[in-house]
Structure 1
Amino acid sequence: MTTPDGPGERANAQALALLADNPGLQRIFAAIDIDGDETRIVGGAVRNALLGRKIEDIDLATTAPPPLVIERARAAGLKMIPTGLDHGTVTLLVDGRAFEVTTLREDIETDGRRAKVCFGRDFCADARRRDFTINALFLDKCGRLFDFVGGVEDIAARRVRFIGDPETRIREDYLRILRFFRFSADYGEGPIDCDGLLAAVRGRAGLAQLSRERVRAELLKLVGARRAPDAVEAMSAAGLLGPLIASAPNPARLRRLVEQDANADPLLRLAAICLETPEDAERIAERLRLSKAERDRLSRAARVIVALHGKPFPLPEHVLNVLLFRHGREAALDGLTLAAIGASSSGQRAAIDFLKTAPEPRLPFSGADLIARGFSGRAVGDALATLRERWIEAEFTDDREKLGRMLDSAVARSAAANR
């Protein structure tokens, strides 16, 4: 347990007191902490309060077994969702906010993906079964902090390390390999913990046991983290990343992307590591079980990358308008951003600014125009495709006479083809 001795500690104590003094939490404490049971805030909320970060979810650990949590919550008029009863977790809804309440537990059997647990009453034992020291801090309803594994010291040092033996923690759940790099990228400073890195390399075969959905979720969080380039470089050097994405990763490309655009979203960052062609998009989507929207976004971006291959920067406006017309704004921006990694910042910025603000060219012909000229069936689509190319060649002219001649030419070609 820590005490507020200096200015930093006093600031920490104030942050923790504000966290504990939450009306919704106090209702839960009052409902569950009966007949000797105790409930404490645990994990990320405590960690982020100490770091001065935004607190998203608030998780709770309790000595009360799940049936009692449910019974007491109902008696107190709290809404309840039995989200993970096999692992002792009940979600309580208070004033529209969800709080996960999990009974203290110990793993008695695990295969690296799933664990059988038994419930207990020992907060220290519960702390020691968690993954990282910074995630194993408890805060009681009075604002008192409990640290059984050195988490406060590691938070102060911005150090991410496993609790106890890293290899043992990894064997309990191989996803912890990815979480180790993700938390190192988000909360760590300086070199990645050597013991954790060595354990991750030794346990890398276990990554094959994980579902692709779990890997996808964790990888997208990892590449979106503050120090993602450092973590991705370490993973790649250790041979951990390539098998996950089924291609040779390019960590340097991610670093250059982040240097040029720190706000690049996680999917674009993932693309920087491994996307060059539409075939890459299909392979990545299959390996990571990406959603259809994610798959389509990568495929469209890859087509833009291919279209820009060999084109020097800065790009003329006509080329940028063609990208907007053929691929749409999002794909044009994604593909150009990836294709321009390493290009001069001024040339890249001008192109991106143009793509963000320029109106998308809209073909000034429609199927109705062609039907009115006697076209039908497949001939309508073929004629529109030809008109698209002619309009591009004409640099998206809006001259009515030129547009009329284009349409007349399409009619004449169709008539000649049907003689």
Structure 2
Amino acid sequence: MNGLPGLRDGRLVDRRVLEAGRLARALRALDGEGEETRLVGGAVRDLALGARAGDFDLATTALPDVVMRRAAAAGFHVAPTGLAHGTVTVIVEGKPIEVTTLRRDIDTDGRHAKVVFGRDFREDALRRDFTINALSLTRDGVAHDYVGGLADLADRRVRFIGEPRQRIREDYLRILRFFRFSARYGEGALDADGLQAAIGEREGMAILSRERVRAELLKLFAAPRAAEVVARICEAGLLNPIFAGQADGARFARLAAIEAARGEAADPLLRLAALAVLIEEDAERLRERLRLSNAEFDRLSVLARGLSDLHGLDAPPPLSGLKRLMFERRRRGALDALTLAQADSGASPEDRRFARASAFLAGAEELTLPFSGADLMARGLTHGQRIGATLKTFQALWIRAGFPREPEALARLLDAALEP
């Protein structure tokens, strides 16, 4: 297939990854002697596309205890990370390889599945979500495809296996995965049946853990076609229940265009802010709705305060304003706020004024208050409340004066702050 440079006549063109290295060592230990073990998942998809694969997952007919015994005999460290679902993590050359026994679902609740182990690779493939995720590769480099995944991958099409609504009901996270994989591997219009099913089953996402939703969204936001796909998600109203508020797909697209114009990698958390943060309360809401980490929440909260500083501007603030922004919001918060302010301003993604302002914030020395409470105590102040009030007054005077660093100027400002 012309769209799959990594394959020729159904076989991997460059088989070095199967012949040497940690994947080859794992396959030698687990394949054969009455059991079959294949490479599955994203690595097969990437290799077929001619890309490098770094993370490896294996599927095997061997039961977990057999996998652990063989892996240990080969000298690998073994971690029984998911025995209930047949998954064992094998550490080869310091890196993990997940090995899962073939299985079939006997019951699902929209979040998790009860499984029984099997020995049929085709049956195992049919329980997966999308055709491009149901591929497997044997140790001789032959690609196995039971559901048309290679043709879909060549055409850059993301399709559910079988009836889309049934696949989604098995795990409602597949709604977001449909959009993520479409944004990462798809081209052209979204699969119509998949989109209709995602919209029809959207209420099922309410039962998902917020941590799983957060992780899937951040992966989606980093994908190459994220702006286009997120626009469709917003049109369908699928993010509003997740965020408990409106999602601004147009603002997301403007941010993505700015990142592209600057040659910057996609920033998933900043893109989340573009979708749903205007004020500090929005950051609070997202922390609760998505179980954001403390660091993620702090970044969004500082960004929101910086946006308030820049509200209504159609151009970057002058140098003094940029210095104040960085002093009050620190470098990361200032850069985040300025970038979203550009997205809100109507300025072009290539706007040179904003580019220069961003470059200044990225390279300038961060400003810190030149005096501390200890300095004031050395000047004779002893009362804690008086020290705090004096520092606050000095800070305001220092900012108004343009952040001077000369000792004489600082002394004059401190004297002014100490005046009763």
Contact 2:280–2:301 under 8 Å retained in 1 = yes
Contact 2:38–2:58 under 8 Å retained in 1 = yes
Compute the displacement of 1:16 (Å). Answer: 5.4
Pairing 1:306-325 to 2, within 5 Å after superposition: 306-325=308-327
Contact 2:90–2:97 under 8 Å retained in 1 = yes
Separation in structure 2 between the aligned mates of residue 284 and residue 7 of structure 1, nearest angstrom: 42
**1:318 is paired with a residue of what secondary structure?**
helix
**1:80 is paired with a residue of what secondary structure?**
strand
**2:136 is paired with a residue of what secondary structure?**
strand
Contact 2:326–2:334 under 8 Å retained in 1 = yes
Q: Does 1:225 align with 2:223?
A: yes
2:411 corresponding residue in structure 1:
404
Q: Does 1:289 align with 2:291?
A: yes
Contact 2:110–2:204 under 8 Å retained in 1 = yes
2:397 corresponding residue in structure 1:
390
1:137 maps to amino acid: L
1:143 corresponding residue in structure 2:
141
2:302 corresponding residue in structure 1:
300
Compute the displacement of 1:343 (Å). Answer: 2.1
Compute the displacement of 1:195 (Å). Answer: 0.4
Separation in structure 1 between the aligned mates of residue 404 and residue 9 of structure 2, nearest angstrom: 64
Compute the displacement of 1:183 (Å). Answer: 0.3
Q: Once structures 1 and 2 are overlaid, which stretch shifts more, 262-271 or 130-139? A: 262-271
1:303 maps to amino acid: R
Contact 1:15–1:49 under 8 Å retained in 2 = no
Contact 2:335–2:358 under 8 Å retained in 1 = yes
1:358 corresponding residue in structure 2:
364
Pairing 1:4-83 to 2, within 5 Å after superposition: 9-10=7-8, 13-15=11-13, 17-83=15-81
1:417 corresponding residue in structure 2:
none
| Cα displacement string for residues 146-198 of structure 1 (whole angstroms, at most 9, x for unaligned residues) | 01010110111000010111111101100000000000000000011000001
1:272 corresponding residue in structure 2:
274
Compute the displacement of 1:11 (Å). Answer: 9.4
Compute the displacement of 1:14 (Å). Answer: 4.5
Compute the displacement of 1:21 (Å). Answer: 2.2
Separation in structure 1 between the aligned mates of residue 173 and residue 75 of structure 2, nearest angstrom: 37
Contact 1:106–1:120 under 8 Å retained in 2 = yes
The verdict on how the C-alpha distance between 1:296 and 1:11 changes in structure 2, with shifts beyond 3 A counting, is farther
Contact 1:178–1:218 under 8 Å retained in 2 = yes
**1:195 is paired with a residue of what secondary structure?**
helix
Q: Once structures 1 and 2 are overlaid, which stretch shifts more, 355-364 or 129-138? A: 355-364
1:416 corresponding residue in structure 2:
none
Separation in structure 2 between the aligned mates of residue 330 and residue 8 of structure 1, nearest angstrom: 40
Mark the runs of 5 or more structure 1 residues left unpaired by the alignment.
Answer: 414-419
Contact 1:132–1:163 under 8 Å retained in 2 = yes
2:123 corresponding residue in structure 1:
125
1:256 corresponding residue in structure 2:
254
2:353 maps to amino acid: G
Q: Does 1:368 align with 2:366?
A: no
Contact 1:232–1:241 under 8 Å retained in 2 = no
| Cα displacement string for residues 344-374 of structure 1 (whole angstroms, at most 9, x for unaligned residues) | 4112111101111122222222222211122
**1:340 is paired with a residue of what secondary structure?**
helix
Q: Once structures 1 and 2 are overlaid, which stretch shifts more, 316-325 or 361-370? A: 361-370
Compute the displacement of 1:28 (Å). Answer: 2.4
| Cα displacement string for residues 290-345 of structure 1 (whole angstroms, at most 9, x for unaligned residues) | 00000000000000000111234142100000001111100000011111113241
1:209 corresponding residue in structure 2:
207
Compute the displacement of 1:12 (Å). Answer: 7.6
Contact 1:89–1:101 under 8 Å retained in 2 = yes
Contact 1:19–1:49 under 8 Å retained in 2 = no
2:162 corresponding residue in structure 1:
164
**1:261 is paired with a residue of what secondary structure?**
helix
Q: Which of 238, 241, 244 is the equivalent residue of 1:243?
A: 241
Pairing 1:179-190 to 2, within 5 Å after superposition: 179-190=177-188
Compute the displacement of 1:22 (Å). Answer: 3.5
1:297 maps to amino acid: R
Contact 1:315–1:347 under 8 Å retained in 2 = no
Q: Which of 106, 113, 116 is the equivalent residue of 2:114?
A: 116
Provide the identity percentage: 55
Separation in structure 2 between the aligned mates of residue 401 and residue 23 of structure 1, nearest angstrom: 65
- Aligned residues: CA RMSD: 1.8
**2:104 is paired with a residue of what secondary structure?**
strand
Contact 2:41–2:57 under 8 Å retained in 1 = yes
Separation in structure 2 between the aligned mates of residue 60 and residue 217 of structure 1, nearest angstrom: 23
| Cα displacement string for residues 94-128 of structure 1 (whole angstroms, at most 9, x for unaligned residues) | 11121111000000000001110001010001000
- Give the paired residue count: 410
Separation in structure 1 between the aligned mates of residue 94 and residue 13 of structure 2, nearest angstrom: 23
Compute the displacement of 1:25 (Å). Answer: 2.7
Separation in structure 2 between the aligned mates of residue 146 and residue 163 of structure 1, nearest angstrom: 15
- TM-score w.r.t. the length of structure 2 is 0.94
2:416 maps to amino acid: S
Mark the runs of 5 or more structure 2 residues left unpaired by the alignment.
Answer: none
The verdict on how the C-alpha distance between 1:91 and 1:173 changes in structure 2, with shifts beyond 3 A counting, is same
